Amino acid sequence: MFAKRGRLDRLLSAHFQVPRRDIRTWLVGARIQVDGVVVKDPDFQIDEFSVVACDGIVFQENHRQYWMLHKPIGVVSATWDAKHATVIDLLECPNKDQLHIAGRLDLNSSGLLLLTNDSRWSQAMTAPEQKVSKVYQVRLQNPLVPEMVDAFAKGMYFEYEDHNTLPAQLEIVGTHSALVTLSEGKYHQIKRMFGRFRNPVLAIHRQSIGVIQLDAALSPGQSRQLTLEEVQSIQGRHLDSQ
């Protein structure tokens, strides 16, 4: 499978293990089709989702995959781990080894996790300049105080990164519970922000990313494919149609 977008002749040469001068002869001879159309231009750009055939025989036909997983506590947001079960282990889908995680959750956090094999889509979702909002349910050890709301809204300086966090929304929904909306994802950001008030975080559960909401029908560990509307809620930021 072609991992990145690139020139047709270069990628064909790597796949068939033949010199590029031979590939150019194939192209001139109308032997190569991309997405059902004969292509003769060696500079033609293709990627891992281009349907590519030689002499009418398809040798690459990959489909974009977009998955929602209800991540349980104690499962690692990784494709492999020597000590813990990973989110990939929980999935039941073809070619799951080709998926990557779009926005991780800590080991002891739960909730909405998105996985895909479409790097352009995940980059559009996680790019800092896009400021895609993420909403978290948070449970705390000590009671919340109104002063926290303004502090979150103003942002906080993280000395380690030499970074001022973007304004965050804090909604107090109970004496020890809140909804936090972030548009970035610094290391342990929620825990560190509440840490300024010496209030330990007991639980974090992500309920949404952008307009994509965790499906209430999914139990921890269960997954489903995203709907077209959910995919396009991010897709509008980046790429061509499927």
Catalytic center residues: 106
Full 3-state SS string of the chain? CCCCCEEHHHHHHHHHCCCHHHHHHHHHCCCEEECCEECCCCCCEECCCCCEEECCEEEECCCCCEEEEEECCCCECCCCCCCCCEHHHHCCCCCHHHCEECCCCCCCCEEEEEEECCHHHHHHHHCHHHCCCEEEEEEECCCCCCHHHHHHHHCCEECCCCEECCCCEEEEEECCEEEEEECCCCCCHHHHHHHCCCCCEEEEEEEEECCEECCCCCCCCCEEECCHHHHHHHHCCCCCCC
